Structure 1
Amino acid sequence: MPVDASELSPSDVFRPEDYVLDDAAVTVAACPTYYVQLSSKFIALTKLEDEAPHLNGKAGFGKLDRDQQMAVLSLLPPDEAENVRKHWELWDEFYYEDDEGHGHGVKLCDGGKAGVDKFAAEYRAAHPNRKARRAAGQRGKKKGGGKSGGDQRCTILMFAMRAPSQLADPMSAYVGWTDDERAVADAALDPEADGDWRALADIFWAKLGDGDDCEVTDCYAIRHDRDMKPPVWDEAAGRYLLDLPKVWHLHFFIKFAGRDKGLTIANLAERLGIPPEQIERNKVKGRLAWLTQCAYAIHALAPANKPEKFHYSPDDVYTLKGAPYHEVWAENRYQWELGRAGNVAAEATDKKQLAGLVDGILDGRVTRDMILLQDEYTRIWADKTARSTLEAAFTAYDEARMMRATDALRRGMFRKTIIYIEGAAGSAKTEMAYGWCDFFRQRYDWRTDVLAAKNALDDYHGAEVMLLDDVRGQAMTAEDWLKLLDPYHASPASARYHNKPSVAPRVIIITSTKEPAEFFYGAASRADCTANEAVDQFIRRILWRVRVFNPYEYGYYNVELSKGDTRAERPYDLNDVPTGRLDEYGDPLTTTLRGLGYLFAPLPAMFSAYGAGAAVIRDVDGRAGERLTDGELEELCHEAALCIYKRYVALMTTGAIPQMPGPADGYAPQLDGADADAPTRYGLPGGPAIPRALPEGGDEHDDPE
């Protein structure tokens, strides 16, 4: 005997044959799947037991997942299997659950087709409401009683036609149609056949036409064959399915000469041989009612970002009577475009979509870049009210990130790493910095905030990496610079509009064409302290000074690395420091900084771009709390080299910098025999070949060829 699926334990093996009765146990014939639509959201439907008598409906079939159900169907006779497929298609289309989990939309009826018809008749008799009466083209009863106003003639009507063969009961849907007419309809609305839909429109017009009981002034037809369904969830794939086309359908738009020259919905349905449910009365009232229907023909009022409403061309509309549609479109195009803009603005502030964006922002899944790079979100951002809501969410998220970082810094979980990259314009120092930022994102999922040259902290949103590219020392006061660059503490920082509650990025990268003393002298001149004291404190806070020599001058990257925070044996003076001002003759003024106590100590060798990156990355990784082995650190440095090389590729292609080997070719991190006074001339005529890392025992200066 078949078993109930609800009694199966997870360990039981699913056997499709348990859900199918033997031929000997089946005593009745299968009836085709049949339904009657009683409203837009409610149908009466035959039961699976009647549609497929080989299927034991009480054996738990409905509790199986779709893959298991399909496995069972393969054991049924072909007609019964097809009935079950149609049954579930209708169930999926109409069944829904309310907030309390109660099911609605489908009434399963015993007794096959006769049982469905009986229930439908009883339901309609018991529910003579206004909606049902209006669907039949009748007036509703007046308040307080009174007789019906009789059939209501309509002046504007629209209906959509689907292929007869796609309907549950094709023979009853298009009454009076010949086999040839049905064949034209099926071919016109079948994507594979792609038949002549205008011939189908002519058939409709021949059935409608003008008679003694009506007078049509305008009639247009269009086939909607490029509309898409909204995203549909696929349980088996575990994702939403996109780009699913809607079923092809033919729209007709009819305008009568007046109410006394129109038809009721019931009369029109009888004349065309179609169900009354397919015909819609115009929902828009007043003088724009007909033009609104004409606009719907090509979806002229639908937003551009709604694929389910494809924007058709005016040339796609077939004029059966009245002014050519193209003339109607030309006369009203401007107003329709204004109406579309209004609909876009209305949809841009959709509360559900806005709430979803706010949740995404607070969870860190939605960034400013995502909103500005996607048209759908950009429209929301353009709305002042919605933008205020999103800005508030971003502010809350940024402040939360800053406070969490501050807390981690105070508990000693990391220290800020301050890197100062110095180089002439065109030396690709910025690309080096961006390569490191790419690595931090790839390795640690750290975001980067690139700050502006002026009012820099206005653009800081709590990212782990802060990049100040080609800023000036005067961008902030010395006090703000000193607080920002303090490796061990986080303090509130000044911004133009709103001060930042606490700033604690893990990495701060500064790029400049000036040496550190000249750079920070500009900030020191704004401080309430001596310039000497301020510059001294800046040098103490910088972990690495990365000095990039012009690669085109020397043929290869030469990078000098200097460690900061080094106390001098005795106070020293720094001469000829530019002040950024000119004398009366227009010559630059310089000054001498006296009694400095801290200095930068260059490492004994020069480095390639990859070697400089490896040195910096090792320090950042250590300060981030990692405890990696030498092998893991080597792998880390190789990842960083790849990120740097990817940034350089475009510059090498255009000739902005010389060619250099990629990490896959091998490279020499350290450039022996070179220093700041005599950088290498690798790659230039008369100079050594570009170094590559060779197997042990090889000469690193030999040409690998």
Structure 2
Amino acid sequence: MNKNKKEANLTAIMVVQQLEEEHWLSSDYKTPLQQAKEGNCRPLLEMIIEKLEEQDILVKEAYIIKHDKDKVSTWNPVEMKNIIETKVEHVHVLLKFEKGASLNKLALAIQVEPQYLEKLKSGRYGYDNCLAYLCHCKDENKHQYQPEEVTTVRGEDYTSIYHRSMETWTKGRATKKAKETALSVDWLIEKILSGEVTKSNILLTNEYYAIYGQHKRKINEALDTAGERKSYQTIADLEAGNFKKTILFITAESGVGKTRYSKKLITLLQQIALKQGQKWDYCVTASTNAFDEYNGQEILFLDDIKGDSLTVSDWLKLLDPHMISPISARYHNKMGSAKIIIITNTKEPISFFEQAKGNMGEDLGQFVRRIDYLIQIEDKFHLSIPIKHIPQKPNNEVLWYEPRHYSFKFSKIGEYDKNIATNKLVKQVIRNMQWNKYKKVINASDQTTNDNPNTQQK
């Protein structure tokens, strides 16, 4: 390296320094530093200009602001986590010169160490970016200082520059954000593919949502891929006999609370799955085109769906507890790979499935047989299970019609308070998932009691 190489002349510089005397190499700064701490930065900037011009470095523009609300994330070894702290107060001094000077010459003139002078990035926007940085105008995640907090000693008043440039700076903020999300999108996709992040997580988390807004197609492709893998893993587990699907049919009059109860039950099942090391997601479908939004979620909530939303064939495949098959969807067929399916409707199952597309005198007992529990919500929870329907022997009476016979029907097993009924449903899920074979799971009675602290189990 050529030691005699001439240092570049800098026509502008940013000084970033704390307000403690030890960081300034001249006792002349003692009083201006104290004044800056008290909120008046003008004397400090005037002294910097004076020292520069004593060395024939003429200052054309000069601005100063004290940053005392900046935050920084630091590792706390006691709490074993990152904590947010306020940075030590410091000043940013932006200077532009009539003629350039080297970095070392500027440092000697100002009387600070050279490492506290920041070179501006090359290009036409280098100085403009520094003007914006005085108030963090392009950094929305940092504290936004007001233009009135910037002191102008030379050049156009900063508040004038601020109001003239803010629209451009805001656009620059969007550009910066886009660059930041480009760096984060691969990390987010990795989280999606590993099953740690779901679409609901993305839409409800500001940080993820910002990335999603810039890379929607790429992230949706990752979500589709993760859903596809989840579906095929579920198929493999089902074929290996590791679980069987749980089908719950909830019926009640409108306004009784079918949907509200179902969502609470879903939350409870997610908590229990988490105890097994499984992060379960759920999908609520529309009444028409029910499977358009389904993407391999473990819980499928068919809320107030209509019987004619699917064909007889699709209903039978979807509800088969030991098989997963493609289900018709509007754009392309989906694997109906949910582990839990909850159906809510005002109709009871027989009336509901009578409406299935293509029903031409089907044995509706096929549908009944596939349902683990029928839950009828009235003043209490009425639970029924499917049993084989043996037809009664005909008497001597001659009927003018042939009565319909179904291979399975529901048999009522009892009336229960909500907590006890929920406990039975949860235990059925645990049996079907075979969780009780491998390790002790959360006690369903305890969990439902915890969710309803004012209700005592008998």
Give the TM bin, normalised by the shorter chain.
0.7 to 0.9
C-alpha spacing 1:281/1:625, structure 2 compared with 1 (3 Å)? closer
Distance 1:160 1:212 in 2: 21
> In the alignment, which of 315, 323, 334 is matched to residue 489 of structure 1?
323
Shift of 1:234: 5.0
User: Is 2:85 the counterpart of 1:252?
Assistant: no
> In the alignment, which of 20, 25, 32 is matched to residue 174 of structure 1?
25
Shift of 1:435: 2.0
Give the corresponding residue for 2:17: 161
Once the two structures are superposed, residues 43-82 of structure 1 have per-residue CA deviations (whole angstroms, 9 ceiling, x without a partner) of xxxxxxxxxxxxxxxxxxxxxxxxxxxxxxxxxxxxxxxx
Distance 1:571 1:460 in 2: 46
Once the two structures are superposed, residues 471-503 of structure 1 have per-residue CA deviations (whole angstroms, 9 ceiling, x without a partner) of 111222221111000112121222222322x43
1:520-669 paired onto structure 2 within 5 Å? 520-523=353-356, 526-527=357-358, 529-530=359-360, 532-533=361-362, 535-549=364-378, 557-570=379-392, 594-603=404-413, 605-627=414-436, 635-643=443-451, 645=452, 662-663=454-455, 666-667=456-457
In 2, are the aligned partners of 1:449 and 1:467 still within 8 Å (CA)? yes
SS of structure 1 residue aligned to 2:71? coil
Structure 1, unmatched stretches of 5+, are 1-125, 139-151, 168-172, 550-556, 573-591, 647-661, 668-692, 694-705
In 2, are the aligned partners of 1:362 and 1:397 still within 8 Å (CA)? yes
- Read off the aligned partner of 1:160 and give its amino acid letter: V
C-alpha spacing 1:414/1:208, structure 2 compared with 1 (3 Å)? same
Shift of 1:289: 4.5
C-alpha spacing 1:166/1:514, structure 2 compared with 1 (3 Å)? farther
Shift of 1:208: 3.8
C-alpha spacing 1:617/1:265, structure 2 compared with 1 (3 Å)? closer
Shift of 1:326: 0.8
1:444-483 paired onto structure 2 within 5 Å? 444-445=273-274, 446-483=280-317
C-alpha spacing 1:279/1:624, structure 2 compared with 1 (3 Å)? closer
Shift of 1:330: 0.8
Distance 1:429 1:342 in 2: 47
In 2, are the aligned partners of 1:547 and 1:559 still within 8 Å (CA)? yes
In 2, are the aligned partners of 1:222 and 1:317 still within 8 Å (CA)? yes
In 1, are the aligned partners of 2:384 and 2:410 still within 8 Å (CA)? yes
C-alpha spacing 1:343/1:595, structure 2 compared with 1 (3 Å)? same
> In the alignment, which of 137, 144, 147 is matched to residue 300 of structure 1?
137
Shift of 1:166: 4.8
Percent identity, aligned pairs only, is: 28
> In the alignment, which of 336, 355, 372 is matched to residue 203 of structure 2?
372
Shift of 1:214: 4.9
Normalised TM-score (structure 2): 0.87
C-alpha spacing 1:486/1:155, structure 2 compared with 1 (3 Å)? same
SS of structure 1 residue aligned to 2:431? helix
SS of structure 1 residue aligned to 2:86? coil
User: Is 2:357 the counterpart of 1:511?
Assistant: no
Distance 1:492 1:571 in 2: 40
In 2, are the aligned partners of 1:184 and 1:195 still within 8 Å (CA)? no
C-alpha spacing 1:534/1:382, structure 2 compared with 1 (3 Å)? farther
Give the corresponding residue for 2:149: 316
Shift of 1:470: 1.1
Distance 2:387 2:32 in 1: 87
Distance 1:237 1:320 in 2: 46
Distance 2:407 2:261 in 1: 30
Give the corresponding residue for 1:283: 121
SS of structure 2 residue aligned to 1:569? coil
> In the alignment, which of 32, 45, 51 is matched to residue 207 of structure 1?
51
Shift of 1:186: 6.1
- Read off the aligned partner of 2:381 and give its amino acid letter: V
C-alpha spacing 1:641/1:212, structure 2 compared with 1 (3 Å)? closer
- Read off the aligned partner of 1:163 and give its amino acid letter: L
Distance 1:155 1:420 in 2: 76
Distance 2:35 2:208 in 1: 40
Q: CA RMSD of the aligned region, Å?
A: 3.0
Distance 2:300 2:273 in 1: 15
Distance 2:228 2:329 in 1: 14
Distance 1:635 1:377 in 2: 34
1:331-480 paired onto structure 2 within 5 Å? 331-350=164-183, 353-383=184-214, 386-445=215-274, 446-480=280-314
Shift of 1:183: 5.3
Give the corresponding residue for 2:33: 185
Distance 1:571 1:199 in 2: 107
C-alpha spacing 1:427/1:494, structure 2 compared with 1 (3 Å)? same
Distance 1:129 1:492 in 2: 75
Distance 1:571 1:483 in 2: 33
In 1, are the aligned partners of 2:45 and 2:62 still within 8 Å (CA)? no
Distance 2:21 2:430 in 1: 67
Distance 1:414 1:267 in 2: 76
Distance 2:403 2:329 in 1: 29
In 2, are the aligned partners of 1:464 and 1:506 still within 8 Å (CA)? yes
Normalised TM-score (structure 1): 0.58
- Read off the aligned partner of 2:15 and give its amino acid letter: F
- Read off the aligned partner of 2:223 and give its amino acid letter: F
Larger Cα-atom Rg: 1
Once the two structures are superposed, residues 389-445 of structure 1 have per-residue CA deviations (whole angstroms, 9 ceiling, x without a partner) of 322332232222222222222222222121110011111122221222122111122
Give the corresponding residue for 2:398: none
- Read off the aligned partner of 1:449 and give its amino acid letter: C
In 2, are the aligned partners of 1:560 and 1:607 still within 8 Å (CA)? yes
In 2, are the aligned partners of 1:162 and 1:249 still within 8 Å (CA)? yes
C-alpha spacing 1:638/1:470, structure 2 compared with 1 (3 Å)? same
Distance 1:129 1:424 in 2: 90
Shift of 1:334: 0.9
Distance 1:492 1:450 in 2: 18
- Read off the aligned partner of 1:391 and give its amino acid letter: N
C-alpha spacing 1:324/1:233, structure 2 compared with 1 (3 Å)? same
SS of structure 2 residue aligned to 1:253? strand
